[in-house]
Structure 1
């Protein structure tokens, strides 16, 4: 995959104290998030560390989390993207 200079790369952070394992995030963004063996949300591959491209499904996953356990951050700058502060 070729990434353009203007592509927004994001990492997903999961507040494991808040996550209740509803699975809404994994349904909305199955290429980005999954429920781990402990039943809690976990970012997949690049979304955990180096950053991957922001998708509509990922934004939807963050927005539909019933306990607001997910946040998106810029992989380059570290600032919070979604939900807005």
Structure 2
């Protein structure tokens, strides 16, 4: 599972980091960033990560398959 952050949408609310601290962090600019494994190699889908995507107030997060790159959540 890869996490992508639309940096044009992200407002840095931090809700995602509270839900999935193993997958997301706030960068120096205050916007969400996937932690290393979730940015390039992929990590395991957890309930917290699914919640982070679902509860993002500006829908800036998407989950993608690590093997095929296709978008998983939210659906297009």
Pick aligned residue for 1:29 from 17, 20, 26 = 20
Structure 2: which 5+ residue stretches go unaligned? Answer: none
Q: Which runs of 4+ in 1 moved over 6 A?
A: none
Pick aligned residue for 1:76 from 55, 67, 71 = 67
Name the structure with the higher helix share: 2
What is the TM-score when the length of structure 2 is the normalising length?
A: 0.98
Alignment partner of 1:67 is 2:76: no
Instruction: Say how many residue pairs are matched.
Output: 76
Structure 1: which 5+ residue stretches go unaligned? Answer: 1-9
What is the TM-score when the length of structure 1 is the normalising length?
A: 0.88
Between structure 1 and structure 2, the one with the greater Rg is 1
